[in-house]
Structures are given as structure tokens and as C-alpha cells.
Structure 1
Amino acid sequence: MDDPTVMWSHDRYKECTTKLSQFLKGMGYNKGDVFFMPIAAQQLMNIKDRLPAGVAPFYDGPSLLEYLDDMQSLERKVNAPFMMAVAGKYRDMGTMVEGKIEAGVCRKGMSLVMMPNKEKIEISALYGETEDEIQLAQCGDQVRMRLRGIEEDDISPGFVLCSPKRLVHNVKAFEAQIRILELKSILTAGFNCVLHVHAAIEEVTFAALLHKLQKGTNRKSKLPPTHAKRGDSIIARMEVTGGAGSVCVETFDDAPQLGRFTLRDQGQTIAIGKITKLITDDTA
């Protein structure tokens, strides 16, 4: 906002917020989800302390840190069965994996299951964001674990560590609500792209377009659409065609972190989506 071409101009502020609001609304954000504030970060203006009087008469809201301090904290699923997607692996006096805990808690000596290969493992050492070993970690923590009972070669990013009482689903197909962001042509059944969900990356294909969602109301069309284009929201059935042949996921309602994804093609993000239904052997 302090750029010489802007100089805290209200007109420029309105232009930016109006264009961003339209874009974010198209992405599915509601008006109450978004808050705008003018900032000059290099001058530290409106970061910690509020703007001095007269700098931006059109804004009398909180500073950035003030706003962040007043935000409601996220509800962590501490009491849920343990679940952690493996983001990386390496060898260091044993098999090491790292990732962010999405649900539950874990302790040194705890027994878990590595999906999708259903290997039973044990945590022999647990580390937080420092080099020091810790005894316990919970939902939301970024951790490193030394595992006993599995070799490094048997693990790939996108595998999921979970509680033996509640195994993560491993499916070949699923239904999802998808918003198309960027697409040079049209999208039809048979379109191939790359799925990015938690730490997993798999090739997928649009097996079928099931419904088109009406703008504003999200009402499903009675007939399946023949195609979809940029800006459309659809319900589609996706099938994993990559080397693994399946992927560890959950529905968005059950586990948002394991149920939301992006689709990429030719180095560009073409769509975002959330999984609404898992196609298991029982439902197929």
C-alpha cells in the first residue's frame, strides 16, 4: 500500500479487494471467510500496531497480529484414531519417516499399521521439530519417527500410518466434487491428469461426469453433463491409473486433510476438489 504508485489510495484498495472477492467467491469461499486489510509490510505498518491516524482513513480495523490473536483456534482431533500421511522417508540408524499428524496422538513404543501394505510397525523413537527426542506428539504436530518392523524401501510418500483400530481406506476409485480453475479446452470422461492429495501423487482419469452443479445453489443436474469447462463445478467419478493402482484417502467429511485434493496437468493446477464418496469393493 505504500508503493509510490499507490500511496494508500482507497480506489486502488477497493479495486484489489473487489477483484480478489470475485475470484475467492468463485473458489467457493463465503464472504464471512475472508477479511481484507491494508498493509505496508516492509515499513511494519499495520503488522503489530494499528495504522497511525490519517494514513488510511477508510480503514479502522485491527492490525495483522491483532487479528490473528483474536482468531478462533482450530479444533484438533486429539481423541480420534491416529492418522499421519508419510511426507518423506530416509535412513538414520533405522527407518525414518516424517509428516504431519492429522488425527490422534502417538507415543514412543506405540504400535501402528502402515497402509496400504498393512505392515504392523512400532515407533522406536519420536522427534519433534528439534533434534531432541520427545515422548508424545498430537494432532497438528510435525514429527519424525524411527520405525521398527518395516524397511525404508517398503515405504513411499503418500503412505499413511494409522491406528490398528481404524485403518485408512485404500481405494481405486472415488466420487468427488470438483471445481475447474484453469483449462485450455473442455474436460470429458477419459481425461487424464495428476492427483495431489496429502503427500500422495497419482495419475488419475475422469471415469464419468455424474452431475453439474448449478452456480449459487450447488443443485445437481438431473442428467450427467457431456463435458465441463473452466469455472464449472461438477461431481465426477475418478479412477486411479498410476503405478500404485490405488490411493489412501478418506472422504472430506470424515478427514478433511485426507479428503481434499488438487488436479494438475502439464505443470498447471487445473482443479481443486473434495472427496464425497469412496468406491470400495462393497459399493462397487
Structure 2
Amino acid sequence: MAHVSNLIGSDIEAYLTQHQHKSLLRFITCGSVDDGKSTLIGRLLYDSKMIFEDQLAALEKDSKTVGTQGGELDLALLVDGLAAEREQGITIDVAYRFFSTDKRKFIVADTPGHEQYTRNMVTGASTADLAVILIDARKGVLTQTRRHSYLVQLMGIRHAVLAVNKMDLVDWSQERFDAIVSDYRRFAEQIGLKSVLAIPLSGLTGDNVTSRSGRAPWYDGPVLMEQLETVEIDEARRVSGPLRFPVQSVNRPNADFRGFAGQIVSGRVKPGDAIRVSPSGKTSTVDRIVTQDGDLGEAIAGQSVTLTLRDEIDCSRGDIISAADDPPEASDQFETTLIWMSEEPALPGRPYWLKIGARTVSATITEIKHKINVNTLEHLAAKVLEPNEIAVCNISLDQAVAFDAYEQNSDTGGFILIDRTSNATAGAGLIRFALRRAQNVHWQSIDVTRSARAEIKGQKPAVLWFTGLSGAGKSTIANLVDKKLHSLGKHTVVLDGDNVRHGLNRDLGFTDADRVENVRRVAEVAKLMADAGLIVLVSFISPFRAERDMARRLMCDGEFYEVFVDTSLAEAEKRDVKGLYKKARSGQLKNFTGVDSPYERPENPEFHIDTATTDAASAAALIVDKLTS
């Protein structure tokens, strides 16, 4: 095959036509640092003639200046594009490369070897059909080899190649190869990784990569390229699976047309098929399968189409259309496996956005059941998750979503958690199953409404959320507001941080995770009291914006008032009524807000009380006037 750069004119058109209908294999390379992943991919690109002339010229130049092969072609430089990677000689980011042979097209992801880049490896593995797990023949099975193998199995990759690399550095010893393979297979059996082909090779010299090596006559299996070209791809399995059509958008260009656009992720569909929309459970029949090139008689997994239905039923972005007799499940509580990616720890009770398919809902981690030490497979107790840690967690949503277990369908069983403040991806999750409690607990209909309870009290429910540093004067102002409202005949209740910790929250400490749970519980209690028609005054430091925003979202529109009692740290510490700052400064009191635990100032509070210019009585009068006007 000629290099791509040598194709011109009609040759390019013929080349594109030839490759248009080939199957596509997505695979990753992974393993420990310096096992030769980038070099192996560079070898595949070079030997498959998928390097442009300018790339080849740049490679030859870079090999002489920054290469590690004594001026010879350093094929790893084809993949290690980041400057930091070239300086350190390691892969940091996930590098994707495309290449093709006469039999198949490929997209390969070169994933990082360092433990701190586990999240990058998971990103690369999320769409892969096969994993090439490299082992340096001199070093054997390492901790990171086990870690990546566990992640490969966890992400549902069905095929693996154990590439025992750098065999030229151990004189192509069959004994060494057999010992490594035996050691690895014992671990693979432990984690349930079944389909593993072991190949002795050298990415640097190309032995057993694209052509058979005469240096290992004792090996009679396929070379790496042969395995990549012939391994079964999951496309057939996806087509034969149950219909899953996540709706990406509702297409309504005019009053006469209403279609549902998306990509079929599994199964097949044709006009006349009975379908069900989940999670609502509404049913209808497929009328047309519309594409830009005309209607289809049938569509299968992998195709992007627009479906029209014979009935006007409720269906929107994020819903899943399935066969009427084989729908996905629907629930708002799950047991999941969660891979944490954010630099900020995962805290149970903290609200996140959960995105599954095209649907985004509010979610909280309700329980970290255990962390997994992927090196030993040991289950460890945990209250928080740090970056790159993996755990089995329970997650609760604010509404039911349609799903399949991840092992059955990764497209409808995988999700990401998103930080609500930064909008960055915080974690990646795999749904294991719906919690039984989700099916056992239902909303009980109550005849006396919240508006009726408020009406009989002659007032509008409200939650006044006082936040600020310890010693800022929150409780003082809240107490004055409570007295004024009471004198006006209003029905009020005060939830004070110190008082609540004597009862409802007596089991909580002052770690970040406990602070989140502390606020979550109080917010739920405040909501119940507001539902009863009360005016609720909550006086809590509540240092994190995410939890204050969570409390706001629980309340009805216009009923939540954030009151920021703004006192400088120096002034609050000067007052130190309870002697807490003194203890914190001396090290006797850990995780104290303002000293060794952060306070996140409100950005748009309804009331901003600057205690340097406003006394407590004036602040209370201001709040009451606003509330009763």
C-alpha cells in the first residue's frame, strides 16, 4: 500500500471508496510507564503506511534532536504530541490515531501509564472494543498492569491482547514469556477477564507486530496486526440486542411533522414496530424512519435517524425509545461503580449533575459502600473519594431515568457526574442495578396542601438561610428576626447549627463530608417545615456554595432567602465568643471554617449584611420589612 501522501486526484477517490465500508475497530494500548505503548502504535502507523511525508520528515528530524533511539527513528514521537510528554518521555494525555489496512479501519487510543492519569485511561477505554495490554518482558506483571487490566474488565472491554514487549531485550526467551503469561492469567481469572491472547513482540524492531518474527519459532499464534484485523467487533452484538434509541432532539420544522432524532445504540427498528418510551412507559407504533437521503425500510445500531410515531405521545430529549415488549428499566436510585476524576474529593450528600445519554438530572452520592484497591482487589471503607479512586456507591436522582445495567449496554448504563459550580466532569459511573428501595418507596397523596397550611396561618412560607463565619452574628440576627416576626403574629421556627448538633446531627463531625451531610439534613427539615406553612430561620455556617444552592433548589420559587452575615475573619476571630478560633489556631480544633477549612462567600444573596456598617437590630428590621412588605 502506498503512503497516503502519494495519493492524488482519482487515487484519493478510489482510496476513500475502498475504505468506506470497512469495519472499524476501536482499541486502546495500556500498561505501566515505559512499557513501549507509544512506540508500538508508532510501529503500527509506520508499517501500515499511514504517515504523511511531512510527518515522516518531522519524525526524522525530531528523532535526531529529542529522540531516545540514538538518532534512529523514534516511533513513539508520532504519538507523544504534548511537550510535557516529550520532555518526560511519558504519555500524559489520551492520544487518538487513525490508521487502516486492506481489511479494517482502526482508531487507537494511547492511554497514560501513570496512576495519577487513571481517569485519562478510563476515557480512552470507554469506547474501545479491544485492549492491548503491554508488559515489559524484563519487568513482568507490575502493579499498573493489574490496575489497567482491572479497568479494562470494569469498562466492559471484551477482548484483550497481552503484548509481552521488548522480547529482544531478553533474547526471545520462551521460558520468560511463559512465566509472564502464567502470572498474568492467574490475575486475569481473578477479575473475570476471559478473552486474552498473549503475543511475544518487539515494538521497536517490529517483530510479531505486523509480520511474523523468525526469532520466536516457538510461537505459532497470530501476530498483533492479524489479531486486530480478525477479532470479532461488538457491532454484530449491538445489532442483535434489544432496541435502544436515546432521543437526542425533537424535530418539529412545521406543524405537520414531529420526529425524534438520535442514534440507535443497539437493536433494529422498522415501520410498524410497536415501541415504548421510557421512563414514562407511553406506547405507540413507528410510522416512518426519516433520513436526509430519504425514508428507510429498516435501521440498525450505529445509524442516526429520525423516527416518527403514529400517535401524539409525550417524548422528549433524554427519553429512550425501545421495543414495546423489551423496554429498559427506570429508577431514581442505583448501585453504581464510580471512577472519581475531579481534583476535589467526592462528598456524599453534595449535589452534582448526572448525565446519562442525552438526559441531565440532579444527583447525590448517598453512600460510598466501599473503595476498591485495584492492585489487590481489596474492599476498603471510605467516607470520601479522592482523584482516580474507584468505589461502589449508591446514587440518588431527583427523577427517574431509563437505563440498562452497564454490563448489558454501556451506552444506556454509563453516566458522568458533573460539578455544578465548574461544569467540569467530576466522575464516570457504571450502573450495576436499581436499588430495591426505589420501587418500594412511593409518594403518598395528602389532601391538605401546603398552600392550605400556609393560608390558615395567614402567611407565605419562607426559609431564611443565615450563613457566615463563626462569630459573624448569624444567630444574633436570626433571633431578633424571629422575635419581630413572632410579635407580628407570624408562625416561625429557628434551626440553629449548634442546637441541631445536639440531636438530629449529633453523629456528625466537622470534616467536609460531615459538613455536607449536616446541611443536607437541615435543608430537608427546613423544606418539611416550609411545607407546613412556617417561616423557617436557619442559622448555619454552611461554608460551601454547592450545599446552599442545594437547599435553595429544595424550596419553592421565591421562598428561599440567603442572608449573608458578612464579617471579616479578623473581626470574627477578635470576638471569638466561644473560644473556637483560639483552639483552632493552637491545633486543638481541626477543620475549622476560616482557619483550616474554606468558606465560600455567597455570590448573589438576597440579603448582604455587612456587620462593619450595619448593627444587628438594623439588619433584623431590614429583613422583616422585606419579608412582610
With structure 2 as the length reference, what TM-score do the two structures score?
0.37
**Structure 2 equivalent of residue 268 of structure 1:** 424
Q: Deviations over 1:32-81 (max 9, x none)?
A: 71489xxxxxxxxxxxxxxxxxxxx936355xx99975564223333333
Q: CA deviation at 1:278?
A: 1.1
Counterpart-to-counterpart distance in 1, 2:407 and 2:308: 31
Q: CA deviation at 1:211?
A: 0.8
Equivalent of residue 123 in structure 1, options 286, 306, 310? 286
**Structure 2 equivalent of residue 216 of structure 1:** 375
Equivalent of residue 257 in structure 1, options 403, 411, 414? 411
Q: CA deviation at 1:250?
A: 1.4
Q: Deviations over 1:211-230 (max 9, x none)?
A: 11113233323x4x121111
Higher relative contact order (CA 8 A, sep 6+): 1
Correspondence list, 1:133-282, <5 A: 133-151=295-313, 154-184=314-344, 186-221=345-380, 223=381, 225-241=382-398, 245-265=399-419, 266-280=422-436, 281-282=438-439
The amino acid of 1:83's aligned partner reads R
2:131 maps to 1:33: yes
2:276 maps to 1:113: yes
RMSD: 3.2
Q: CA deviation at 1:187?
A: 2.1
Worse-superposed segment, 66-75 or 191-200: 66-75
Contact (CA 8 Å) 1:95, 1:148: kept in 2 or not? Answer: no
Distance 1:263 1:25, change over 3 A: closer
Q: Deviations over 1:9-43 (max 9, x none)?
A: 2467382448823335874569x71489xxxxxxx
**Structure 1 equivalent of residue 563 of structure 2:** none
The amino acid of 1:262's aligned partner reads I
**Structure 2 equivalent of residue 44 of structure 1:** none
Structure 2's unaligned 5+ residue stretches are 1-54, 78-88, 93-110, 135-202, 211-224, 442-629
The amino acid of 2:284's aligned partner reads I
Counterpart-to-counterpart distance in 1, 2:303 and 2:378: 38
Distance 1:69 1:278, change over 3 A: same
Counterpart-to-counterpart distance in 1, 2:133 and 2:388: 23
Worse-superposed segment, 162-171 or 78-87: 78-87
Relative to total residues, which structure has the larger strand share, 1 or 2? 1
**Structure 2 equivalent of residue 20 of structure 1:** 112
Q: Deviations over 1:159-178 (max 9, x none)?
A: 01011212211101101111
Relative to total residues, which structure has the larger helix share, 1 or 2? 2
Secondary structure of the 2:396 match is strand
Counterpart-to-counterpart distance in 1, 2:241 and 2:383: 41
Contact (CA 8 Å) 2:354, 2:363: kept in 1 or not? Answer: yes
Q: Deviations over 1:172-229 (max 9, x none)?
A: 1101111111223x222102111111221111111111111113233323x4x12111
Contact (CA 8 Å) 2:276, 2:324: kept in 1 or not? Answer: yes
2:252 maps to 1:91: yes
Q: CA deviation at 1:145?
A: 1.1
**Structure 1 equivalent of residue 95 of structure 2:** none
Counterpart-to-counterpart distance in 2, 1:26 and 1:141: 28
The amino acid of 1:257's aligned partner reads D
**Structure 2 equivalent of residue 82 of structure 1:** 243
**Structure 1 equivalent of residue 182 of structure 2:** none
Q: Deviations over 1:92-126 (max 9, x none)?
A: 43211111212221111222111122221221110
Distance 1:155 1:180, change over 3 A: same
Contact (CA 8 Å) 1:94, 1:147: kept in 2 or not? Answer: no
Secondary structure of the 1:102 match is coil
The amino acid of 2:434's aligned partner reads L
The amino acid of 1:194's aligned partner reads W
Structure 1's unaligned 5+ residue stretches are 37-56
Identity score, percent: 16
**Structure 1 equivalent of residue 102 of structure 2:** none
Q: CA deviation at 1:270?
A: 1.3
Contact (CA 8 Å) 1:115, 1:159: kept in 2 or not? Answer: yes
Q: CA deviation at 1:247?
A: 1.1
Counterpart-to-counterpart distance in 2, 1:276 and 1:215: 18
Contact (CA 8 Å) 1:76, 1:140: kept in 2 or not? Answer: no
The amino acid of 2:244's aligned partner reads M
Secondary structure of the 2:240 match is coil
